[in-house]
Structure formats: C-alpha cells, structure tokens
Chain A
Amino acid sequence: MTAPAARGRVPRGTGTGTATIMPQGAPNRRNTELVLLVFAVLIPLFAYADTGLAMDGRIPAGTLEYGLGMGLFALLAHLAVRRFAPYADPLMLPIAALLNGLGLVFIWRLDKARQLARNYPAAQNQLIWTGLGIALFIGVMVLLKDHRLLQRYTYIAGLVALVLLAIPAFMPARASDFGAKIWIHVGSFSIQPGEFVKIVLPVFFAGYLMAKRDALALASRRFLGLYLPRGRDLGPIIAVWLLSLLILVFETDLGTSLLFFGVFVIMLYVATERTSWILFGLLMAGLGFWAVATTESHVQSRITDWLHPLTAAPNGGGVGQIGQSLFALGAGGVLGTGLGQGHSWLIGFAAKSDFILGTIGEELGLAGLMALFLLYALLFERGLRTALAARDPFGKLLAVGLSGAFALQVFIVAGGVTGTIPLTGMTLPFMAQGGSSVITNWALIAILLKISDVARRPAPAPETATEPTQVLGPS
C-alpha cells in the first residue's frame, strides 16, 4: 500500500497502519533562515550608511565592500548550516549575524569619535575577528559530527577550563586593565581566556552531571520539605564555589566568577530537578560574595560606584563610568539621538567594549535597547528551546549550560552598564569590541545549532535517501 508522499510530520493513525515519508519531508526552515539573514545583513548596512551620513554628511567609503563582506560571511555560514546542520534552528544564525553587524557599526562609529583618548581604530580588527568567528563557526559545523562526541572530552574540558581560568592570575598585572586580571597579554595582542571557558566549562559540567545526576538527585534526606544532599555529594558544588571565589580573589573578576557559579547551579538544578540545589547555590553565592566584598577593595569600590553612580570625583573629575553611562542612556531618551549623533565618547575607557550598550542606548534610545534585549532574549530562549527538544540528556544539559551562560553574560554586563547591578568587566556578546568574545560566541552558536539539528531532525531517520520508505505505524 502506498500513501501519497506527505510533508511534515508522519501521519499517524490514518487507519491503514502505514505511512510514507520522503527524506526531505520535514520542513527544515533553511529558507526562512536565508530570508532573515538578508535582513540581518541589510539592517547593519543601512545603519552603517546612516552613521556616515550623520557624522560626515556622506555615505561612508567602502559601504559596498562592507555589505558584500558581511553578506559573504552570512552566506558562508548559512551554506555550512544548510549542508551540515540542515534541521537546525532558523533564528539563531540571523540574530547572531544582526547583533554582530550592528556591533561593528557601533565600534566603527566610536572609532570616529576623535574625542576618545588613545582611540585606536578597532572596527577593522573586529571585522577580522568576525571573519575568524565565522570560520570557527563553519569549522564546528563541519568537524563536529554530533554534539555527543563532546561528552568524550568531559574531563579534558574540565582540565582545560581550569588552566584557562588560572592563567591570568599568574600574569603580571597591568595598570591599563583597571583592576581586573582577566587578560593574557602576548606582545600587543591580548586574549580573554574567561570567554573560551564559557564553552569549555558547560561541556565539562554536562558530562560530569550526566554521570552523577542520579546520585545527586536521589541520595538525599528530606528536611523541612527540602531534599538535602548527602555530605559527600556536596563536593562538586563546593569545589566550583571555591574556584569561583578564587577567581574573584586572585583575578578580581566578579563577572566571570558570578557567571560560572550561576551556570553550574542552573545545570545542577536541571540535572537533578531538585530545587534545594538552587537554594544551596544562592546561599553559597551570597556567603561567598559577602565574604569577598568585606575584604576586597576592588569589589567594594564596584559596589560603591553602583550605589552612587552620580557622585563626582573630587577636584572636578566628573562622574565615573557608570554615571557617564547613565548620562548617555538619559540623553538617548525614548527614541535616541540617532546614529552618530550622541556623545557617548564621554564614557571614555571601554566605551567600545564593556560600555558599548551606553552608545546603543544613547543613539537608538529606549526603543533600540528594548529591541536589542528582545533579540538577546529570543536568541537564548531559542537555545533553551533546543534544550527542551533535545533527546539526549547530555545535549539538554549542554544546551541549557550554553544558553544560560549567554543569558547570564548579557544580564551581568547590561545590568552593570545600566546600573541594575554592580558593574563587572564583561563584554556584551557579539556587540562589544573583543576578539575572544566574538569567536567564542560564534562557536557557542555553532554548538547550539548542532544540538538543535539533532533535536529537530525527524525522529525515524530514513535508511535510504532516494526511495520512499515504508514505515509501520501503530495499529
């Protein structure tokens, strides 16, 4: 019996007991992605032209080349997805491309702010890093056949993460780093290993929790309605907690510390489904933070800056960076000053990296920031959707870990710049200047796309690719 070829899900219970599907039957949404990518390239291109018109009165030279370049990047990434992850989520790549493209425009715009002291052009470097990021993205697409392969490297990943985190603490501090030791300097070149750890650590956590989650979830005592873990099961969380504190103390990097501990608690909670871990996590985070905050002057000054952002430095020094960032946001108001027409260079140091949100808020206004936050939310919620859809626990945990890390990073940096929480040195994913950040985030998106490809692939994979296959349906 042969039923007509059906698109979409396998028809079930049609009465005949059998159904046929074509290999290309499930909609893979690649064309949707392509259309969205066209917008993701065009919007930054228009923003680029608009910025040039506003600042110089003419369309900037190289608009065409920039458009072609970004278009080529997007096309290559798209083709890689089409070939190597055909069922992957169609939204993540366009959103990432859009954020990256807009980030480039804002960095270029700040390059043109002649008021910024020691203003080295950064947009070109950022464009090169974007190219490398896309290359890494394609590399992951091609080389990572299946995300479950990563599970093999669980403990290696743990070791690598540890090394990457520890390196900066042993590097000589630089005055230009403003307190936080999060960079590795090699000549004039600097990388932020903390960024790469954002991928490596979730791999380790996912693998580790896969193995241990039953023990962590089941072996517990009930106390006051909570499942209390056994003493020896507390080992891992205490180890990660101590590691976070060590980062905080020796590298004075509040953001990284908060990010990793947060990701670990989220993944632990997802793995064990025990709310008690969240409470433990919050308790330990609070305890650790309090202990460090009362001893570390770097952290204390961050808190003071957060509580009193508009306090001016003595002898006419003006307000600090957070104050300037708030001024920028205020100047933007609801609709913004328009691209290229703000004065966010007043933020000074790190205007292109950690504080790029100030420029966006000033020039695109509240409207622009709301749209930006929605894009970020959409991006990491697609990642969490992937976690829901994934069929293997490792994939689920990894997707949650990567998306959670992304969401936490957005919150930590945007919260710091807007004065929601104390400021910590972190880059706004895809938008801020920073090579390590850009390539890490492209790799992160690539892995999420790989997981989602497996998750969304039609369940009963056909054996042969050319003929309709008969499938026995439920009787």
Chain B
Amino acid sequence: MNKPIRRVSVFCLVLVLALMIRVNYVQGVQASSLDKNTNNKRGLIEAYSYPRGQIIVGGKPVTKDIEVDGNTYKYKRGYTDGPVYAPVTGFSSQVYGSNLLENVENPILSGNDSRLFIRNTLDLITGKPKQGGDVVTTIDPKVQTAAYNAFTSAGKKGAAVALDPTTGAILGLVSVPSYDPSSIAGSDNQAAWTSLNADKSQPMLNRALRQTYPPGSTFKLVTSAAALENGVITDINAKTDSPDPYTLPQTSTKLVNEAGDNCLNVSMNDALKVSCNTVFAKIGDEVGNDKMAAEAAKFGFNSSSLTIPVGVTKSNYDTAINRPSNALSSIGQFDTRATPLQMAMVAAAIANNGTLMKPYLVAQERSANLDVIDTTKPTVLSQATTPQVAQEIQTMMVNVVQNGTGTPAQISGATVGGKTGTAQHGENNSDNPYAWFVSYAKMGDKQVAVAVVVEDSNAQRDEISGSGLAAPIAKKMMEAALGK
C-alpha cells in the first residue's frame, strides 16, 4: 500500500502548492489593484484616520476635521460656511468620494504627496502623528460672501466669478443654489445625498465652472475684438452701414433688436452701448467664421484642457458653420456657450490690455508645519488681443456703464467697464432668458474682472436684462474686491 500512500502525499502537497501559488498571486501581484478597488474601504479608513489638511480662504480655514466616535472612521470632514465655499472646496465624503479642490488637492490635503516624502519619513522616525498639508486659495472672502449674499438675498439662481485681471487669481467663485458639504461628509448621510441629487435645482452643480450658458450679448465683446483685430472695423465711432432689421445672410430671416433701440447704421461703440444685435451679427458675418472662432479660441473658448487646478468645462464657439449660423453665433446665440469663468476671462483679458492670465484658485500648498511646498506663479494663458484693441474695447465698455445698459454697475471713484447680456433659451425662446453681466473695475492699483449670470429668473421677460438682475450683483463683487 506504500506506493499509493506516497502518491497521496504528493497529491496533498500539490494542494498546498496550489494554495501557495494562489496567495502569492493575490498578495503579490493583485495586491495593489485590490487596494485601489473602490469597494475596498481600507483606503478611506486610512484617509480618515488622521486629520486632513485644511483649505484656507483669507487666512482662515473653511474646512475642519471633526473627531467622530464612529466605528469605521476616526475623523469626518466639516465645513464652515459650507454653502458659500462649496463651489471652491467641493466635498470630501466617507461614502461618496470627493470633488473639486478636495479631490484635486488630495495629495497635499492627505499628506501623501511625493513632495512631502522626506517630511513624512522624518515624522515616521520621530513618531509624530501623520497630518495633511494645507491648501491656500486665492479666494477673497469679502468678494465671495458679497456675491453669495447678493444672490441669496435676491432669491436668485446663478453663478458668479471674479478674477484679478493682472494675475488670473480667482477672487470669487459662487454658485447658487448651493449646499453644505458637511451634510454629506459622514458615513450616514444617505438621505441628504439622495435628496441633493434628486433636487431639480441642482445644488451640487458648480455653475461657475461646470455649466455652460449661451452668453448672449456679452459675447459681443469677443466679436468686437475680432472686428478690430481683423480690420473689419477700424474706428469704433464710425458708422457701420448696418440695416435694421438685418436679414441674415443667405436667408430671408430678419433679425431685429429690442423695441426702441436705435440701431440703424450706428457706430460699433453705440451698438455695444445699447446692445444692437443687427450690427454685431453683420460684423460677425463680415469677420467670418474662421476668424471669429480663432478670436474666441484666443480668449479661451473651445479648450477643454483648462484646469485651475480643478477642471473647467469647455466653452464653445462653433467652427465650420455656415454664414447665418456664424452671424447668430457672434451675438452669443446659436451654439455659442460659455461658463461664467470663461466670460470673466474675456473681461479680464480686455481689462489687462489683451493679455489673458491663466486663472488659478490655489495660491499656495503648505505642509502641516506650514513649510511652503509650492506657490503658484501667475502665467500668461494667451495674448487674447493687442493692447490697442483691448483699450478700444475698454472705452466701449466704460461707455456702456456710463451711458448705456450697464449704468447700475457704476462705482464712484472707480473706472468700470461692462456689458450686459440677455440670452434666450428654451423652445422658441419660451423660457425666461439668462441675464448676464460681464465687467471689470479699476481703482488705483486694484483691478477686478467679474462675470455674473442669473438663470431662470421669475421676473418679466422684457425687464430681464443683465442690467436689472446681474449688474447689481457684479457691482457688489467689484466693490468688495476694490475694498470699497
């Protein structure tokens, strides 16, 4: 019987060998992919086992780490003034992941960034508990709260962005309605999460960065730049030989202006002041689709690669479209779409004499012991237009605020230029239009560029214009930024 016994023992050894090969495979080869599996809670347990770094606005953290007596996690993320800063911080949830800065800056906030390697190693040796680093934002809390309060006190939905035109630093980033990220940070917030996602007003949508709107008349700023740069218009005060109504090229469709506006054969300066659709459609047609698209691209349209470092949704100006479509596109209708940040970039580039600075939200990254790891240096994103053209558009924008549709944005002691917009949407333009206001202000050595969009307002159609709804909000933001 010994021969079969020997074979049985070899067989049993083979069984053990199979187990050994299997555990080698699982623990050696598969280990890292198993660790990364989204259903594996170990990563989160580790991430919430020590205090996360803070996101800092105006020298004060807007985030905090709350020690909870939870079974699974030691800490939970909390937010001060959560709804105000939610479009900046995003959320960090024990169940639903994270987004915006909480997500993009996770390496620093979690303290796992490779640049913190030496610090972490030293801490490990000296037995210091692990702690995440801080992210210092460019947000000016005065601008941010001014914009948020302006929206909420008026009971409006929409978004607003304020930039420093000279650096690209984002001073305000507001989206309303908002939500409190604290409400979904814990492990037992399913009800809050479900109701936030089911809410038709989309409180978790970051309208400033992730929602595009038809820019309407505010896009006429880009059209003006294209016309001046390409020699279609050489003098902003010369007559443009434009009819009213204007028949779209190659069609019999007549384009009209708002009742009462004098748009027949006016100059571009006057046309911008009262926002003549007919004049700018004609100018856009004369510039042509290729050059219009090229101009829009220089201001940042049609680029999906912009990160601040949070990713920004692409704004669109159609390329390779026919003449009537291009004429409509150049007054911000048809398929032209822009994020509020994009329109703030347009204003900023004009205010900064044609140089478009790359917008950025993070000023500094710091380790837990306040060592600066990285400071963002302002960089030029593109030369949107020439200084001369930019200055001519500034003149026109100042004219809008002083004599035209933008008068509610006037700030005493400051140079303010702006452009209103009322973009139509919905089937046959049946829905309430979006009200836009895009502007810049300069006072002393301080500058600010702002874009505000108010969406789906309940006000009367013909009263809605950027001037009535959006300009007052923009004015409050600019005042806050200028320190008035």
Q: Please list the residues of chain A having a beta carbon within 8 angstroms of any beta carbon in chain B.
A: 114-115, 266, 269-271, 273, 310, 312, 316, 318-319, 323, 326-327, 329-334, 343, 346, 361, 365-366, 369-370, 373-374, 376-377, 380-381, 384-385, 387-388, 393, 396-397, 400, 403-404, 407-408, 410-411, 414-415, 418-420
Contacts and interface: CB of A to CB of B under 8 A. Distances in A.
Contact of B40 (A327, A377, A387, A418): A327
B26 A419 contact: yes
B31 to A, nearest CB: 4
B19 A373 contact: yes
A331 B37 CA distance: 11
Nearest to B190: A316
Contacts of A318: 39, 41
Contacts of A374: 16
Nearest to B27: A366
B20 A373 contact: yes
- Leading 6 A-B pairs by shortest Cβ distance: A330-B34, A407-B12, A384-B9, A366-B27, A411-B15, A330-B31
Given A331-B34, A346-B41, A366-B27, A393 B19 contact: no
A316 B2 CA distance: 55
B6 A370 contact: no
B262 interface: no
A318 B31 CA distance: 18
Given A326-B26, A381-B13, A343 B41 contact: yes
B303 interface: no
Contacts of B5: 270, 384, 387-388, 396, 400
Contacts of B95: 316
Contacts of A327: 34-35, 37, 39-40, 42
Contact of A312 (B1, B39, B72): B39
Nearest to A387: B5
Given A330-B27, A330-B30, A420 B22 contact: yes
B2 to A, nearest CB: 6
B12 A381 contact: yes
A361 B27 contact: yes
Interface string B17-34: 011101110111011111
Given A270-B1, A327-B34, A330-B31, A381 B19 contact: no
Nearest to A268: B4
Contact of A388 (B2, B20, B22, B30): B2
B28 A366 contact: yes
Chain A contact surface mostly: helix
B181 to A, nearest CB: 19
Contacts of B23: 329, 361, 366, 369-370, 373, 418
Contact of A115 (B27, B32, B71): B71
B45 A270 contact: no
Contacts of B19: 373, 410-411, 414-415, 418, 420
A292 to B, nearest CB: 22
Contacts of A408: 15
Given A343-B42, A411-B16, 7 more contacts: A266-B8, A319-B37, A330-B31, A331-B31, A332-B31, A370-B20, A419-B26
B3 interface: yes
A414 B18 CA distance: 10
B39 A377 contact: no
5 contacts: A310-B39, A326-B26, A369-B23, A388-B6, A415-B15
Interface in B22-70: 22-24, 26-28, 30-35, 37, 39-42, 45
A366 B2 CA distance: 34
Which of B11, B12, B72 has the largest number of chain A CB atoms within 10 A?
B12
A436 to B, nearest CB: 23
Contact of B12 (A384, A388, A393): A384
A411 B8 CA distance: 14
B16 A377 contact: yes
A95 B103 CA distance: 50
Contact of B4 (A270, A326, A329, A330): A270
A373 B386 CA distance: 75
Contacts of B42: 327, 331, 343, 346
A142 B7 CA distance: 33
Nearest to B8: A266
Contacts of A271: 1
Given A331-B35, A334-B27, A381-B13, A270 B8 contact: yes
A263 B18 CA distance: 19
B37 A381 contact: no
Contacts of A397: 1
Contacts of A418: 19, 22-23, 26
A415 B40 CA distance: 21
Contacts of B32: 330
A176 B9 CA distance: 37
Contacts of A366: 23-24, 27-28
Interface in B221-280: none
Nearest to A273: B4
Contacts of A420: 18-19, 22
A334 B72 CA distance: 25
Contacts of A384: 5, 8-9, 12
B269 to A, nearest CB: 59
Contacts of A331: 31, 34-35, 40, 42
Contacts of A319: 37, 39
B27 A415 contact: no
Nearest to B12: A407
A423 to B, nearest CB: 13
Contacts of A323: 39
Contacts of A266: 8, 11
Contacts of B27: 329-330, 332-334, 361, 365-366, 369
A208 B72 CA distance: 55
B459 to A, nearest CB: 42
Contacts of B72: 115
A134 to B, nearest CB: 26
A276 to B, nearest CB: 12
Contacts of B11: 266
Contacts of B26: 326, 329-330, 418-419
A406 B16 CA distance: 12
A62 B263 CA distance: 94
A310 B34 CA distance: 9
Interface string B447-459: 0000000000000
Question: Which has the most chain B C-beta neighbours within 10 Å: A114, A374, A377, A415?
Answer: A377
A211 to B, nearest CB: 15
B280 to A, nearest CB: 51
A326 B30 contact: yes
Contacts of A330: 26-27, 30-35, 40
A376 B17 CA distance: 12
A327 to B, nearest CB: 5
Contacts of B20: 370, 373
A418 B28 CA distance: 13
Contacts of B31: 329-333
A371 to B, nearest CB: 11
A278 to B, nearest CB: 9
A415 B15 CA distance: 9
A327 B35 CA distance: 7
- Give the interface centre of B15, B19, B71, B95 by most chain A CB atoms within 10 Å: B19
Contacts of B13: 377, 381
Interface in B405-452: none
B222 to A, nearest CB: 45
Nearest to B13: A377
Nearest to B22: A420
B1 A273 contact: yes
A163 to B, nearest CB: 28
Nearest to B33: A330
A82 B8 CA distance: 30
A404 B8 contact: yes
Contact of B37 (A310, A393, A407): A310
Contacts of B1: 270-271, 273, 393, 396-397
